[in-house]
């Protein structure tokens, strides 16, 4: 498959690779523009033509006498990618879309180390007949109260412990970090958040990366800042464009944020990176409560133009009153 190379002057690309970075609106917005043509950015490298080719000469705009300034220029390599399918139905709310991904590998390793039994527990709270809010957790039974994860091929030593019905993951490095990753039941079973453990180990908040199947958890070499690079890999899009949309609506008494976030992820086809509650308002006379959320759309491996993200947002907004029984503002 061929590639398209785009060389831009210093700071003009509109990505985090630019040094210095301009305001996004004052750049070529190269990843966003390329997405309109079904292209994703694969790599960014320093422009070195002048060092490699001694006879290289920069021409000016429309061959004018004033040459382009090539110092600090970057070469952007784009590859062809598929567009995400347009929304037409709700997708299956599966936490991890395929077997063999990093999350499934971690569950398998934990079960083997603890000689534990494992099952998937689905807790369901009904919102109406057409949609249920679901979350998945992984249950294991511990043989001992604590286990050091350094034997599970992680370079840094972590300790998973139970105390006061809580399961915590603690970093044993000089910069100690304590993270509550689950809860213990009186029956001896415990619910562990695989996502939180992976977020801590890999220092990556976007859990969509953990659905990848091309990485072997046992063979990963976890060294400092390379953690994030290993998980994100090279075959995915780098510096993908993000699009932000706000939605505000009046809520019912039994409404909670998890209902909305579950609904958004359910109809986003893995294109929503984040859902954030940015404002709440209570009407002084009626005491009605409204919530305002900000949705961040971003694709990890496909070309996502603004028009596609907007259609996904509109699809979500159109079905929101019917599914959750809220009133749009």
CATH 3.30.70.380 location in the chain: 243-328
Beta bridge pairs of residue 277: 293
Beta-bridge partners for 248: 292
Tens-place pLDDT, residues 174-202: 555 666 666 666 555 656 667 777 777 77
Q: Indicate whether 36 pLDDT > 90.
A: yes
Q: What is the pLDDT of residues 250-308, one digit of tens each?
A: 998 888 888 898 888 878 888 898 999 999 999 999 999 999 999 999 998 899 999 99
Predicted confidence at residue 57, as pLDDT, reads 74
Lowest mean pLDDT among 17-21, 53-57, 100-104, 309-313: 100-104
User: How many Cβ atoms sit within 10 Å of the Cβ of residue 253?
Assistant: 5
CB of 293 closer than 8 Å to CB of 246: yes
Of the candidates 129, 29, 127, 39, which has an alpha carbon nearest to the alpha carbon of residue 82? 39
Fold of 243-328: Alpha-Beta Plaits (3.30.70)
Distance CA 214, CA 290 (A): 43
Instruction: Give pLDDT, residue 79.
Output: 94
pLDDT tens-digit profile of 143-172?
A: 444 444 444 444 455 666 666 666 666 665
Contact 254, 321 (CB under 8 A): no
Tokens linked to 26: 């004052």
| Cis bond before residue 292 (omega within 30° of 0) | no
Of 52, 43, 60, residue with least CA distance to 6: 43
The helix or strand, by DSSP H or E, that contains position 266, with its residue range, turns out to be: helix 257-266
- Residue 276's alpha-carbon distances to 51, 206, 301, 327, in angstroms, are 47, 14, 23, 19
Strands 327-328 and 118-126, sheet pairing: unpaired
């Amino acid at each position: 498959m061929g590639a398209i190379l785009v060389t831009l002057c210093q700071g003009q690309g509109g990505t985090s690779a630019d040094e210095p970075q301009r305001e996004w609106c004052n750049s070529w917005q190269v990843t966003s523009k390329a997405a309109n043509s079904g292209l994703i950015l694969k790599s960014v490298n320093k422009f070195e033509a002048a060092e490699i080719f001694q006879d290289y000469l920069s021409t000016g705009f429309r061959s004018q006498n004033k040459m382009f300034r090539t110092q600090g220029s970057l070469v952007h390599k784009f590859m062809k990618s598929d567009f995400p399918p347009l929304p037409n139905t709700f997708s299956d709310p599966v936490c991890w879309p395929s077997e063999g991904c990093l999350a499934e590998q971690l569950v398998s390793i934990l079960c083997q180390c603890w000689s534990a039994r494992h099952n998937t527990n689905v807790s369901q709270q009904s919102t109406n007949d057409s949609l249920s809010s679901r979350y998945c957790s992984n249950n294991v039974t511990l043989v001992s109260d604590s286990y050091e994860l350094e034997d599970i091929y992680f370079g840094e030593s972590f300790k998973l412990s139970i105390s006061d019905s809580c399961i915590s993951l603690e970093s044993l490095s000089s910069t100690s970090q304590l993270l509550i990753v689950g809860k213990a039941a009186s029956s001896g079973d415990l619910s562990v958040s695989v996502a939180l453990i992976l977020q801590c180990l890999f220092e990556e908040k976007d859990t969509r990366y953990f659905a990848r199947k091309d990485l072997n958890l046992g063979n990963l070499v976890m060294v400092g800042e390379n953690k994030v690079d290993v998980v994100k890999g090279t075959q995915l899009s780098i510096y993908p464009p993000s699009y932000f949309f706000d939605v505000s609506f009046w809520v019912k008494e039994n409404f909670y944020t998890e209902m909305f976030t579950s609904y958004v992820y359910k109809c986003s086809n893995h294109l929503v990176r984040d859902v954030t509650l940015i404002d709440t308002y209570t009407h002084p006379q009626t005491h009605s409560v409204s919530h305002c959320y900000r949705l961040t759309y971003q694709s990890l491996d496909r070309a996502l133009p603004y028009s596609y993200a907007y259609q996904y947002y509109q699809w979500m907004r159109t079905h929101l009153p019917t599914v959750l029984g809220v009133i749009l503002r």
